[in-house]
Amino acid sequence: MKKQKALIIIKPDAVQRGLSGTITKRFEQVGLTIIGLKFQKADSKTVIAHYPSTDVWFEKVGKRTLNNCAAKGVDPKIVFKTDDAVAIGKQVKSWLITYFQESPVLIMAVEGYECIEIIRKISGNTIPVLAAPGTIRGDFSHDSIDLANEAMRPLRNTIHASDTIEDGEKEVALWFTPDELFSYVRADEKIMFP
Ligand code: GDP
Protein backbone atom coordinates (compact mmCIF):
# COMPACT_ATOMS: atom_id res chain seq x y z
CA MET A 1 0.00 0.00 0.00
CA LYS A 2 1.27 3.47 -0.94
CA LYS A 3 1.25 6.48 1.34
CA GLN A 4 -0.89 9.46 0.26
CA LYS A 5 -0.09 13.15 0.51
CA ALA A 6 -2.52 15.85 1.58
CA LEU A 7 -2.58 19.58 2.07
CA ILE A 8 -3.95 21.17 5.21
CA ILE A 9 -4.34 24.93 5.48
CA ILE A 10 -5.08 26.49 8.82
CA LYS A 11 -7.28 29.33 7.61
CA PRO A 12 -7.17 32.96 8.78
CA ASP A 13 -10.00 32.58 11.32
CA ALA A 14 -8.12 29.81 13.17
CA VAL A 15 -4.73 31.54 12.91
CA GLN A 16 -6.19 34.76 14.32
CA ARG A 17 -7.87 32.84 17.15
CA GLY A 18 -4.55 31.26 18.16
CA LEU A 19 -5.57 27.73 17.19
CA SER A 20 -2.65 26.87 14.89
CA GLY A 21 -0.80 24.71 17.40
CA THR A 22 -3.90 22.95 18.71
CA ILE A 23 -5.07 22.05 15.21
CA THR A 24 -1.61 20.97 14.01
CA LYS A 25 -1.39 18.66 17.03
CA ARG A 26 -4.51 16.75 15.93
CA PHE A 27 -2.86 15.73 12.65
CA GLU A 28 0.43 14.90 14.35
CA GLN A 29 -1.10 12.84 17.13
CA VAL A 30 -3.11 10.62 14.79
CA GLY A 31 0.22 9.50 13.30
CA LEU A 32 0.52 11.45 10.04
CA THR A 33 3.97 12.68 9.05
CA ILE A 34 4.38 16.42 8.54
CA ILE A 35 6.49 16.67 5.39
CA GLY A 36 6.17 20.42 4.83
CA LEU A 37 5.17 23.39 6.98
CA LYS A 38 5.15 27.14 6.37
CA PHE A 39 3.48 30.26 7.64
CA GLN A 40 2.82 32.95 5.09
CA LYS A 41 0.36 35.34 3.50
CA ALA A 42 -1.43 33.51 0.67
CA ASP A 43 -1.28 35.28 -2.68
CA SER A 44 -4.45 35.55 -4.75
CA LYS A 45 -2.92 33.68 -7.72
CA THR A 46 -2.31 30.58 -5.58
CA VAL A 47 -5.75 30.73 -3.96
CA ILE A 48 -7.38 31.05 -7.39
CA ALA A 49 -5.44 27.99 -8.60
CA HIS A 50 -6.18 26.12 -5.37
CA TYR A 51 -9.99 26.09 -5.61
CA PRO A 52 -10.92 24.47 -8.92
CA SER A 53 -12.46 26.75 -11.54
CA THR A 54 -14.59 23.92 -12.84
CA ASP A 55 -18.36 23.73 -13.11
CA VAL A 56 -18.19 20.51 -11.07
CA TRP A 57 -16.70 22.35 -8.06
CA PHE A 58 -18.89 25.45 -8.50
CA GLU A 59 -21.95 23.22 -8.70
CA LYS A 60 -21.00 21.19 -5.61
CA VAL A 61 -20.63 24.34 -3.52
CA GLY A 62 -23.67 26.04 -5.11
CA LYS A 63 -25.92 23.01 -4.61
CA ARG A 64 -24.96 22.82 -0.95
CA THR A 65 -26.06 26.42 -0.55
CA LEU A 66 -29.29 25.88 -2.50
CA ASN A 67 -30.15 22.82 -0.37
CA ASN A 68 -29.49 24.83 2.73
CA CYS A 69 -31.67 27.70 1.50
CA ALA A 70 -34.47 25.23 0.68
CA ALA A 71 -34.27 23.64 4.13
CA LYS A 72 -34.53 27.05 5.78
CA GLY A 73 -37.17 28.46 3.41
CA VAL A 74 -34.75 31.18 2.26
CA ASP A 75 -35.02 32.50 -1.30
CA PRO A 76 -31.50 32.21 -2.83
CA LYS A 77 -32.36 35.03 -5.22
CA ILE A 78 -32.53 37.44 -2.30
CA VAL A 79 -29.13 36.45 -0.87
CA PHE A 80 -27.27 35.55 -4.07
CA LYS A 81 -29.35 37.37 -6.72
CA THR A 82 -29.50 34.01 -8.54
CA ASP A 83 -30.63 30.43 -8.01
CA ASP A 84 -28.10 28.97 -10.40
CA ALA A 85 -25.78 26.57 -8.52
CA VAL A 86 -22.73 27.29 -10.71
CA ALA A 87 -23.13 31.07 -10.32
CA ILE A 88 -23.43 30.68 -6.54
CA GLY A 89 -20.30 28.49 -6.47
CA LYS A 90 -18.43 31.22 -8.35
CA GLN A 91 -19.51 33.78 -5.76
CA VAL A 92 -18.25 31.58 -2.91
CA LYS A 93 -14.89 31.20 -4.69
CA SER A 94 -14.53 34.99 -5.00
CA TRP A 95 -15.22 35.35 -1.24
CA LEU A 96 -12.59 32.66 -0.51
CA ILE A 97 -9.92 34.65 -2.38
CA THR A 98 -10.43 37.67 -0.10
CA TYR A 99 -10.80 35.58 3.06
CA PHE A 100 -7.57 33.63 2.54
CA GLN A 101 -5.63 36.91 2.48
CA GLU A 102 -7.05 38.30 5.73
CA SER A 103 -4.03 37.16 7.75
CA PRO A 104 -1.16 34.69 7.36
CA VAL A 105 -2.15 31.05 7.00
CA LEU A 106 -0.33 27.93 8.22
CA ILE A 107 0.22 25.59 5.31
CA MET A 108 1.02 21.99 6.02
CA ALA A 109 1.74 18.97 3.84
CA VAL A 110 1.14 15.62 5.51
CA GLU A 111 1.71 12.04 4.44
CA GLY A 112 0.44 8.67 5.58
CA TYR A 113 -1.53 5.55 4.73
CA GLU A 114 -5.17 6.42 3.90
CA CYS A 115 -4.15 9.97 4.65
CA ILE A 116 -7.05 11.59 2.74
CA GLU A 117 -9.76 9.65 4.58
CA ILE A 118 -8.02 10.27 7.89
CA ILE A 119 -7.74 14.04 7.43
CA ARG A 120 -11.33 14.40 6.21
CA LYS A 121 -12.53 12.37 9.21
CA ILE A 122 -10.53 14.50 11.64
CA SER A 123 -11.63 17.73 9.91
CA GLY A 124 -15.37 17.03 10.02
CA ASN A 125 -18.19 18.31 7.87
CA THR A 126 -17.69 21.57 5.92
CA ILE A 127 -20.67 23.07 7.76
CA PRO A 128 -19.67 23.41 11.43
CA VAL A 129 -23.11 22.61 12.85
CA LEU A 130 -23.02 19.27 11.01
CA ALA A 131 -19.45 18.48 12.07
CA ALA A 132 -19.33 15.82 14.79
CA PRO A 133 -17.92 16.67 18.21
CA GLY A 134 -14.29 15.59 18.35
CA THR A 135 -13.62 16.77 14.81
CA ILE A 136 -11.70 20.00 14.27
CA ARG A 137 -14.64 21.84 12.73
CA GLY A 138 -17.02 20.34 15.29
CA ASP A 139 -14.84 21.43 18.18
CA PHE A 140 -13.44 24.77 17.01
CA SER A 141 -15.99 26.42 14.73
CA HIS A 142 -19.47 27.61 15.50
CA ASP A 143 -20.02 29.59 12.29
CA SER A 144 -23.43 29.37 10.62
CA ILE A 145 -23.88 28.90 6.88
CA ASP A 146 -26.88 31.26 6.91
CA LEU A 147 -24.88 34.00 8.61
CA ALA A 148 -21.99 33.45 6.22
CA ASN A 149 -24.20 33.62 3.14
CA GLU A 150 -26.04 36.71 4.39
CA ALA A 151 -22.74 38.44 5.13
CA MET A 152 -21.44 37.33 1.69
CA ARG A 153 -18.36 35.61 3.09
CA PRO A 154 -17.14 32.00 3.26
CA LEU A 155 -17.91 29.80 6.22
CA ARG A 156 -15.20 30.26 8.82
CA ASN A 157 -14.60 26.60 9.41
CA THR A 158 -10.92 26.75 10.51
CA ILE A 159 -9.20 24.53 7.95
CA HIS A 160 -8.87 23.36 4.41
CA ALA A 161 -8.13 19.66 3.94
CA SER A 162 -7.61 17.96 0.56
CA ASP A 163 -10.56 15.77 -0.27
CA THR A 164 -9.28 13.34 -2.93
CA ILE A 165 -5.96 11.55 -3.53
CA GLU A 166 -5.51 13.52 -6.78
CA ASP A 167 -6.26 16.85 -5.08
CA GLY A 168 -3.80 16.00 -2.31
CA GLU A 169 -0.98 15.51 -4.84
CA LYS A 170 -1.96 18.61 -6.84
CA GLU A 171 -2.41 20.90 -3.83
CA VAL A 172 0.88 19.89 -2.18
CA ALA A 173 2.67 20.60 -5.49
CA LEU A 174 0.86 23.96 -5.80
CA TRP A 175 1.76 25.29 -2.34
CA PHE A 176 5.23 23.72 -1.86
CA THR A 177 8.35 23.59 -4.01
CA PRO A 178 10.15 20.20 -3.96
CA ASP A 179 12.94 21.57 -1.74
CA GLU A 180 10.38 22.61 0.91
CA LEU A 181 9.23 18.98 1.34
CA PHE A 182 10.99 16.40 3.50
CA SER A 183 11.03 12.63 3.48
CA TYR A 184 11.57 10.80 6.77
CA VAL A 185 10.07 7.99 8.81
CA ARG A 186 8.32 8.65 12.12
CA ALA A 187 9.61 6.56 15.05
CA ASP A 188 6.12 5.17 15.80
CA GLU A 189 5.85 3.56 12.35
CA LYS A 190 8.08 0.71 13.59
CA ILE A 191 5.41 -0.12 16.19
CA MET A 192 2.34 0.61 14.10
CA PHE A 193 3.39 -1.04 10.84
CA PRO A 194 5.76 -3.93 11.81
P1 GDP B 1 -14.26 21.78 2.15
O2 GDP B 1 -13.45 20.88 1.23
O3 GDP B 1 -14.91 21.00 3.27
O4 GDP B 1 -13.47 22.96 2.67
O5 GDP B 1 -15.48 22.36 1.30
P6 GDP B 1 -15.60 22.94 -0.19
O7 GDP B 1 -14.39 22.64 -1.03
O8 GDP B 1 -16.92 22.50 -0.72
O9 GDP B 1 -15.72 24.52 0.05
C10 GDP B 1 -14.57 25.31 0.25
C11 GDP B 1 -14.82 26.34 1.33
O12 GDP B 1 -15.79 27.29 0.86
C13 GDP B 1 -15.45 25.80 2.63
O14 GDP B 1 -14.50 25.24 3.51
C15 GDP B 1 -16.12 27.04 3.19
O16 GDP B 1 -15.18 27.90 3.84
C17 GDP B 1 -16.61 27.73 1.92
N18 GDP B 1 -17.99 27.33 1.56
C19 GDP B 1 -18.35 26.18 0.96
N20 GDP B 1 -19.66 26.16 0.72
C21 GDP B 1 -20.15 27.34 1.16
C22 GDP B 1 -21.46 27.91 1.16
O23 GDP B 1 -22.43 27.32 0.70
N24 GDP B 1 -21.58 29.16 1.70
C25 GDP B 1 -20.51 29.83 2.21
N26 GDP B 1 -20.75 31.05 2.71
N27 GDP B 1 -19.28 29.32 2.22
C28 GDP B 1 -19.09 28.09 1.71
Per-residue pLDDT, 24: 98
Are 59 and 141 contained in the same domain?
A: no
Q: So what's the pLDDT on residue 72?
A: 76
Q: Are residues 119 and 141 in the same domain?
A: yes
Residues 55, 142: one domain?
A: no
163 C-beta closer than 6 A to ligand 1? yes
Do 94 and 164 have their domain in common?
A: no
Is the minimum distance from the CB of 112 to ligand 1 under 6 angstroms?
A: no
Q: Of the residues 74, 79, 126, 171, which should be mutated to test ligand 1's pocket, given the most ligand atoms within 8 Å of the CB?
A: 126
Q: Residue 153 CA: which ligand 1 atom is closest?
A: 26
**194 residues of the chain, pLDDT tens digit each:** 999 999 999 999 999 999 999 999 999 999 999 999 999 999 999 999 999 999 999 999 999 889 888 887 888 898 888 999 999 999 999 999 999 999 999 999 999 999 999 999 999 999 999 999 999 999 999 999 889 988 999 999 999 999 999 999 999 999 999 999 999 999 999 999 99
Distance CA 58, CA 30 (A): 32
Catalytic residue IDs: 160
Query: What is the rounded CA–CA span in Å between residue 88 and residue 84?
Result: 6
Q: What per-residue confidence (pLDDT) applies to 122?
A: 98
Of 63, 102, 121, 155, the one to substitute when testing ligand 1's pocket (max ligand atoms within 8 A of C-beta) is: 155
Tell whether 126 and 178 lie within a shared domain. Answer: yes
Which CATH number is 122's domain given? 3.30.70.141
Domain boundary among 102, 122, 141: 102
Range of the domain at 19: 1-41+104-194
| CA torsion angle 116 26 159 173 (round to 10) | -50
**Domain total in the chain:** 2
> What's the CA gap between 170 and 94, in Å, rounded?
21
Atom 3 (ligand 1) nearest CA: 126
